[in-house]
Structure 1
């Protein structure tokens, strides 16, 4: 491994699903898994292409219950390309002797290569090389080339290229009993060596069109091949036939375009796709533009560290997949941030709260992309308001899982693979998703960018609508003189009710109540930022009166938090639960990350125990600085001291099973200031979540975008203490010993390019020579002013370590 090259040696069918996710290629508009182009789905391989925002809804019946699931759609396979010698079998590595197999993903260039030699039963040896890309420059284009070189034989080579619409959503084992046939009206067309395929999604009616053209080269020079139509129902295919001699490589280039009826600026999608390939140029032309686009992105987004080479590589892999899922090409698509990227069908392509981990990176590098992700939420405010009204509340209630429309897409039942039982799913009660929309998706964006226009036109409406919901949901207890928030779930997800409760939901979840108090306070502060005219317009539009604002003030100072022995309790009644036998279950089961499934298969429930799937209370210490958290506690009237946070951190660290890839990111974050060695170890474990597939097969269903982005955010903000508040760029570095230095560029408010380098002795901040304003910088408790044409080198006083 190098800092830019993810390499796999040897063909391993059992590892194909993992490699297909980790080596997937995309551009923020669509992405394609790195399945071998000669394979259809099966035997560990799963070709998949997914376009951002292309969903479809199908009904199913499970245990007598009619369900509807909206899923991101597996689109026709554009990369299908194989060959055979004479009249032999088509390429099948499982039937051949394979040597020298290498698969390499070049992160800097965004190119996947595959090289190997095969030998058939007749002793014919053939060298094979392939290159693939999904263009970051031309958002509708993808390209693939195949080079075949006969080593010891002469004969006829037939290369079959296809646009294969005979695909279904079948990439997640637990969904396979459900209907995955989302494409109808498949219309293949072959015109010489030009292929076309049109399809339509069943319920959403999205028209999807692909087109592909080919160029053949022999010894690097254009050549003419014989063409034969090989179309089957649902599949447009052409055979390119050539005579081959030893030592004379034959290359087939395939340029493909994907257009849909959701695209802007096009007419009929099929015609648009044909136009795209007509003007694309050669593979070399597409590649050159693509490489240039990636070069520009890396200039803005690379994070360089002095540390382990593997950590450098995996960090770049995380940047790479973040930008393939959400990029400048996503801006005009009206899409959110899918939890599993565009890399597979896990979670059905839905949008959860992973943007809490993704947007901090985008805010400081690609703010226009972050802004577009916020608009995805803003456009779904009408649906969020309707959802709030449906439960008798004001304001906006955002769904835990969101797809195309903003309605709640969370399943009402889920399958436990251990027990094979379908169980009620109450995770729609994670109402805290709205708090994430207000917090990171709006206010933190405003702090980082200073985009007052966005706040005025869109952001304030989001924050106020969310605040109105929480202000209305809080119920007053006159005996305790406190407000309660009841019937919700926290981020933990293992607990959805108290033991023996008749109905789902928990009361006074600490994370929810603290963030609700924070949101209500920010909503009031937000009104002060707006011009008077716009403030009055919004208050009238949202029917928010003076009495409502006074109520928000009251709630934000009186929400209940529950405590025991100085520890902030996860929810009311948590202290009455049983302690869990961690050692016994580890001895019995080994991997206990999914204790919910283990306990349910035993006929028990995690509701009975003091345990968590992932960080819950600890999420507060990741989202809020200690000063911000203590300010909320002060506002709520709860006493605290310097041990309040460490005490709660220590308590929950020992009671978490890490059933989510996000959990280790948060644990590393909360330890970053007090135990750097443990924080670094958690950070390294978080880095490995997808690359090592630590959850045993889940990465093959799609990468975990929140965890990937979370490691980047931990590096850029957690270890550096970077803050963007009050128009000051603040730092409080506390690097782990194993991290020699970190270097990155960012955009902060009016400062388009700020370069930051931090090691254990010095923090250096450099401005852009084109800047025009002085940048206020705070390093720990000292304040500086950065001239846009200069730089600051600030010595760092060694802090007391662990």
Structure 2
């Protein structure tokens, strides 16, 4: 099997939703699901096109309450196309052909290297006429506003008239997630539909945010003998008449252009979309430039392992990451949706997933990583206001973000197992701010971008540190600071079983990472030019006394313990043990243990059971040396057995209800030399491609987990980390990988090549005008000049 192909050799309606998500094509500006062009949203298929940053808010009635939700909008469907033989024949419908037994063969193939989706269908009809349909589709990585589809109809044993309908459909709604379908879902109103030559243009406006979205399609065929326009209230269709000759393919090209009122340098979005569609080249011309753009991207994304299936899935994961955020995203002021631009799960919101995504981008596309951090910086005023409303200083970032940086976490969520709407307290995951501060620091280490740090990053980091220093409350009895009423990364535990109010006290992950961020805040000022340091101190009214408070809180935050391990939160040790074997025997898959228990009238808050790593996230984000330093600074005796003991304690008490869980476990076990790392790595790799979570992939890929698997190879198995101005390399490849090669960008160098096996490490710096770099491994270090090489035994 090719390392660059994702292919399906039969048609399976039950798997269509997953395939549509995995075969999504995008370019960072917009993405289109891999739905069949003749399909409609019907429970099997779900056509969807999503434009980065196009959100809209609607009000719904839920459980007797008015609830507002902001969603990434499903925009008009540009792909719709079907055909029929003769004026009276049935319109082509893949599902109808499949049910009638008329489907002779089917193949769908995603070429990741070229960014092309191909579908080849052979079928017969009741009259015995055999036809082959070959469709190719692309969303241009060269021209961000363009997409194109080529359909070739080959009459194998017949000749005659052929009719083709190419619709531009504005009747779309957001109905791609079953549990949201009872909510308000019509986000667009159609303003106008107009024709210009062979171009149709549909202009819509989001009903609340008032964003204009224009979609134009140009339809052409050399075999055309006539066409007519069919108008509907919210859609329009070109109906083409063509002559088909046995053995000769009849080709129809459909080119689409999308523009929005958020775009730069346009007069009006409908005018821009129509103009781009008119001026676009043919499918083959667009394809040529598109493939060249992908070639350039893949040259900068070199990660190679000598394990074919692993390499294929890593390529797929990088492919979808680059389709969600690319060079076309840089000027859009958008974050990275947790489910990509591939579906409507999580409403297209931005969580903390850039924690798993930015390390890959920072060492290959630092300009994209910088843009994602700028999305956070532009929403700093809203984060400051959120902190102020809570009576605190600094910046409180939302757990779920959308258009403007206000908290978008739903306040009610549906348990599909019980059918009940329940309070949602996940907005108490204040640790998202810690992730943003962490990303700022790591970006600076990887890139050396002092300008970003001085102008934007330091301000964010200091304001986040200020918020958490204010959030910490001093306990005089224990002479410790405490952070109360929050949720950790676990996401299952949102309250104590004997308390009415939500929130937990002294979540260890939150407290330890707060100490780490406060220490970085104290360091960051020293990295700035004196003039900028003085400006920031003045602008933020940052006093010596407040910085001394940062240092005190960083020394005195409480870290709870029980049974000789770090407690996930204070009181965790008093919770009951779950009957893991009993629940697995009764339910099989218990990844969503919270839903199972709630349906039973119970609550996961009573048990030592986690959805995903919480305390263990500390081992994912911080090196052993960093974690040991923070714990020592907090007065914790972090002897050599504490972390291994804590890892062994929590692993069997985690049910992996999140796609990120396996990534973190694979990382931790790799760093401790545990062979189970490979098993968890394989689970993370196959999470979406095999839809391990049972139906969630169809609602949108899990982008954090996808990027996390690539980053795991890069920073864990290859052992790459940034330590100040040194590139540290400590390879730990699993035995299943005998050779690993990758290329990086680092501090002005566009080409650093690393190769390792289980015996040797080789680092080569490609020739350039950049400064030499310092690399280190196992206590040894070297300065490598451009054009130089360093090789050491492992």
TM-score bucket of the superposed structures, by smaller chain: over 0.9
**Which consecutive aligned stretches of 4+ in structure 1 deviate over 4 angstroms post-superposition?**
none
Superposition pairs of residues 607-756 of structure 1, within 5 angstroms: 607-756=605-754
- Asked whether 1:482 is paired with 2:471, we answer no
Structure 2 counterpart of 1:446: 444
Moved more, 646-655 or 766-775: 766-775
The equivalent residue for 2:177 is 172
C-alpha contact 1:193 1:227 (8 A) present in aligned 2: no
For residue 763 of structure 1, report the CA deviation from its aligned partner.
1.1
Aligned to 2:574, which of 573, 576, 581?
576
CA contact under 8 A between 2:364 and 2:744: conserved in structure 1? yes
Q: The residue matched to 1:744 in structure 2 has which SS?
A: strand
Contact 1:190 1:236 in 2 (8 A): no
CA-CA distance at 1:192 after TM superposition: 4.1
Q: Specify the alignment match of 1:205 in structure 2.
A: 210
Equivalent position of 2:318 in the other structure: 319
Supply the distance in 2 between the matched residues of 1:29 and 1:94 (Cα, whole angstroms). 31
Classify the secondary structure of the residue corresponding to 1:313.
helix
CA distance in 2, matches of 1:338, 1:94: 32
- Distance of 2:443 and 2:133 partners within structure 1: 48
Aligned to 1:427: 426
Contact residue 569 and residue 575 of structure 1 kept, 8 A: yes
Give the TM-score, by structure 1 length. Answer: 0.97
Q: Determine which of 217, 220, 224 is the counterpart of 1:215.
A: 220
Match of 2:35 in 1: 35
- In structure 2, what is the Cα distance between the partners aligned to 1:287 and 1:566? 60
1:405-428 CA-to-partner distances (Å, cap 9, x unmatched) read 000000000000000000000000
Taking the aligned partners of 2:561 and 2:220, their CA distance within structure 1 comes to 70
Task: Supply the distance in 2 between the matched residues of 1:185 and 1:588 (Cα, whole angstroms).
Answer: 50
SS in 1 for 2:791: strand
Q: Does the residue aligned with 1:225 lie in a helix, a strand or coil?
A: strand
Q: Retained in 1: the 8 A contact 2:190–2:202?
A: no
**1:108 equivalent in alignment to 2:122:** no
Check conservation: 1:318, 1:708, Cα contact below 8 A: yes
CA distance 1:191–1:158, change in 2 (3 Å): farther
Tell me, in whole angstroms, the C-alpha distance in 2 between the residues paired with 1:772 and 1:517: 35
TM score, norm. by length of structure 2: 0.98
> Hey, what does 2:776 align to over in structure 1?
778
User: Which string of whole-angstrom CA distances, capped at 9 and with x for unpartnered residues, describes residues 159-202 of structure 1?
Assistant: 11111111000000000000100000342223443211110000
Aligned positions, number = 789
Does 1:156 find its partner at 2:157? no
Residue 118 of structure 2 contacts residue 136 of structure 2 at CA under 8 Å; is this kept in 1?
Answer: yes
CA distance in 1, matches of 2:529, 2:95: 68
Q: Residue 42 of structure 1: SS of its match in structure 2?
A: coil
**What secondary structure sits across from 1:54 in the alignment?**
strand
Deviation per residue, 1:322-360 (Å, 9 max, x gap): 000010000000000100000000000000000000000
Q: In the alignment, is the contact (CA less than 8 A) between 2:193 and 2:236 conserved in 1?
A: yes
Q: Answer whether contact 1:149 1:247 (CA < 8 A) is retained.
A: yes
* 1:42 shift after superposition: 0.7
Partner of 1:67: 67
Structure 1 segment 102-251 matched on structure 2, within 5 A: 102-217=107-222, 223-251=223-251
Q: Does 1:337 align with 2:342?
A: no
Aligned to 1:356: 355
CA distance in 1, matches of 2:626, 2:126: 70
Counterpart position of 1:220: none
Does the CA contact (< 8 Å) of 1:408 and 1:428 recur in 2? yes
Contact in 2 for aligned 1:676/1:735 (Cα 8 Å) = no
Distance 1:509 1:720 in 2: 31
For 1:621 and 1:487, locate their aligned partners in 2 and report how far apart those are by CA, in whole Å.
Answer: 24
Structure 1 position 278, deviation (Å) = 2.3
Distance in 1 of aligned mates of 2:43 and 2:603: 36
Residue 415, structure 1, aligned to residue 420, structure 2:
no
- Provide the aligned C-alpha RMSD in A: 1.0
Within 2, Cα distance between the matches of 1:56 and 1:324?
A: 22
Gaps of 5+ in 2: none
Q: What are structure 1's unaligned runs of at least 5 residues?
A: 218-222, 797-802
Tell me if the contact between 2:314 and 2:709 (Cα under 8 Å) persists in the aligned partners.
yes
Tell me the distance in 2 between the aligned counterparts of 1:658 and 1:499. 22
Give the Å deviation of 1:43. Answer: 4.1
2: distance between equivalents of 1:402 and 1:743?
36
Could you tell me how far 1:544 is from its partner in structure 2? Answer: 1.7
CA distance in 1, matches of 2:302, 2:343: 25
Partner residue, 1:92: 93
What is the match of residue 346 of structure 1? 345
Query: Aligned partners of 2:771, 2:382: CA distance in 1, in Å?
Result: 42
